[in-house]
Amino acid sequence: MSIDLTQATMTELRDAVADKSVSAVELTRAYLERIEAHDGHVRAYNETYADRAIERAEAVDRGEVTGVLAGVPIALKDNLCTTWGHTTCSSNILKNFRAPYNATVVEKLEAAGAVVLGKTNLDEFAMGSSTENSGFKPTKNPWDTGRVPGGSSGGSAAAVAADLCAAAFGSDTGGSIRQPAALCGVVGLKPTYGLISRFGLVAFASSLDQIGPFTHTVEDAAVLLNVIAGHDPRDSTSADPDTSGPIPDYTANLDRPIEGLKLGIAKQYMGEGNDPAVAKMIDDAIAMYKDMGATIVEVDLPHTEYGIPTYYIVATAEASSNLARYDGVHYGHRTEAPDDLIDLYSASRAEGFGDEVKRRIMLGTYALSSGYYDAYYLRALKVRRLIKNDFDAAFAQCDAIVCPTTTGPAFKFGEKTDDPLSMYLNDVYTVNANLAGIAGISVPGGFTEVDGKTLPLGLQLLGPTFSEPTLLRAANMYEKSNNFGNTRALASV
């Protein structure tokens, strides 16, 4: 096989299988060999399915499985249900769980011919920003294995960054796709709330969760969005084409710059907390967009700083309800010899959940409890409205907002684990998109040198609901103006 996995994009690999310059089996084996060689170190995967992947690839080579992703080896965050293997959410409470159905995205990806290599590590139940809350193990950043890959979808981001799959999927509740994409130097897309079916995504916070892809290029993300977008009768919150319009071809016109593109910059995202390299990344991006003919406008998002406290009430309140299902009765871990039924519930949950999950369940329960509901939950819902109003006003002036994904590059293991609040503050530039339900993407934004290591940064573009065609085109303009995404992490592995 002549293709170098550490240079190719997903679309190139897909085309190589299609024109038979490489077989699907060769491609799948090549990734399985890379996983064998490198994943002991990166620890991106919770589980791999070598035999099943080879069988699927053989079916592609026989022409029995076709589609726009025929033979493309992918990875899934381990909170997406599959009828094969385990679906654990990196939690000891679900360590042995086997899902009775496939997530809708999994069915769509397989129907398009994708080959699932395995499931990737995450912060337990997607609660965290570093994978350090995984019940099993932390995943390492392929650029510097002393640093976190970000989270919660850290396994998926690291798997793409280290070329242990051609593309991967994650979920983004407060930044869990965009933040690890930024810290691992790959593209991460959080689609508009409702664009992707959440059926079969294990629920964390149902009004915030959204599934999206990790790729090396914006084009690859657009190809995958074409496959997974669309209404699903099994998810009543998925967007109805009657009201939100038909699903367009996201790859159409990707290379054509947008005439009259208006981009917003907000001072609330350009604070002193930003690493100097992040500030320079934004300046350079703005200069590039101006050169390409875009207009830059200043927008005001005055409630930005209230995003974190609002998010940590809304998300934990929803989580406290969603995670009530883990009771030691229907599925999941069950304590030995409980005193009675209540003890069965309480001991099973205490043994099965890790610290961060317990903290969030209790915080959410507190915010919803009698006497505190108005002061916390109801107030947070009102501030959520103010945050959405900020975006509505900003998008009346511009097509998209240019901002950083994070305030700096990947942090070290242990740096934020003693203080939950310092970990929460890491999501400052990402949570508001989830609260408002808008679209966001992180694209490689260059590098910074820290302690002799080269670490990637992420540029974030935020757009109104269902603005993905514009957002992807604007992201593609930026990507094509630099070569950041072409530099792969493997040199550090």
Partner 1 sequence: MAAMSEKLTENDVRKVAKLSRLKLTDDQVAFYTDQLAHVLGYIDKLSELDVDNVEPMAHPTDMTNKLRPDEPTAGMPVDAALANAPASDPPFFKVPKVLGEGSGA
Residues 58-97 that bind partner 1 (CB under 8 A): 96-97
Q: Contacting partner 1 (CB under 8 A), which of 15, 283, 298, 305?
A: 305
Select 218 or 387, whichever has its Cβ closest to partner 1.
Answer: 387
Asked if 376 is part of the footprint of partner 1 (rule: CB under 8 A), the reply reads yes
Which strands make up the sheet holding 167-171, listed edge to edge? Answer: 45-48, 115-120, 73-77, 167-171, 211-215, 187-190, 439-450, 453-463, 400-404, 262-266, 295-299
Contact window for partner 1 (CB under 8 A) among 14-22, 333-341, 466-474, 482-490 = 333-341
- Binding of residue 194 to partner 1 (CB under 8 A): yes
> Which of 255, 339, 392, 449 touches partner 1 by CB under 8 A?
339
Q: How far apart are CA 96 and CA 82, in angstroms?
A: 13
**For residue 152, cis peptide bond before it (omega within 30 degrees of 0):** yes
Among 252, 287, 378, 393, binds partner 1 (CB under 8 A): 378
Hey, what are 186's tokens? 């790959």
Task: Identify which range of 14-22, 213-221, 254-262, 321-329 contacts partner 1 by CB under 8 A.
Answer: 321-329
Residue 229: closest CA among 105, 414, 81: 105
Dist. CA 145–CA 149, nearest whole Å: 9
Q: Which of 173, 320, 432, 448 binds partner 1 (CB under 8 A)?
A: 320
Examine residue 385 and tell whether it contacts partner 1 (CB under 8 A): yes
Cβ 152 to partner 1, closest distance in Å? Answer: 18
User: Shortest gap between Cβ of 62 and partner 1 (angstroms)?
Assistant: 30
Residue choice 29, 52, 98, 480 for contact with partner 1 (CB under 8 A): 98
Q: Which of 436, 443, 475, 489 binds partner 1 (CB under 8 A)?
A: 436
User: If binding is defined by CB under 8 A, does position 188 make contact with partner 1?
Assistant: no
HSE-up (13 A, CA, CB side) for residue 489: 30
8 A C-beta contact, residue 439 and residue 462: yes
Site for partner 1 contains 106 (CB under 8 A): no
| Separation between Cα atoms, residue 346 and residue 416, nearest integer Å | 29
Contact indicator for 407, 274 with CB cutoff of 8 Å: yes
Q: Which residues are catalytic?
A: 77, 152, 176
Residues 6+ apart with CB under 8 A from 187: 181, 213, 214, 215, 216, 217, 218, 220, 221, 441, 442, 443, 444, 475, 479, 485
Among 49, 125, 193, 395, interactor with partner 1 by CB under 8 A: 193
Q: Which of 164, 75, 154 is nearest to 122 (CA)?
A: 154
Residue 63 is classified by DSSP as: T
Please list every residue from 387 through 406 that binds partner 1, using CB under 8 A: 388
Asked if 347 interacts with partner 1 (CB under 8 A), we say yes
Q: Does 216 bind partner 1 (CB under 8 A)?
A: no
Number of amino acids touching partner 1 (CB under 8 A): 76
Should residue 454 be labelled a site residue for partner 1 when binding is judged by CB under 8 A? no
Structure tokens of 202?
A: 């294990």
Among 271, 296, 300, 366, binds partner 1 (CB under 8 A): 366
- 386 in contact with partner 1 (CB under 8 A): yes
Residues 236-295 that bind partner 1 (CB under 8 A): 236-237, 239-240, 243
Identify which of 252, 195, 251, 242 has the alpha carbon closest to the alpha carbon of residue 221.
Answer: 251
What sign results for the dihedral spanned by CA atoms 323, 327, 328, 330? negative
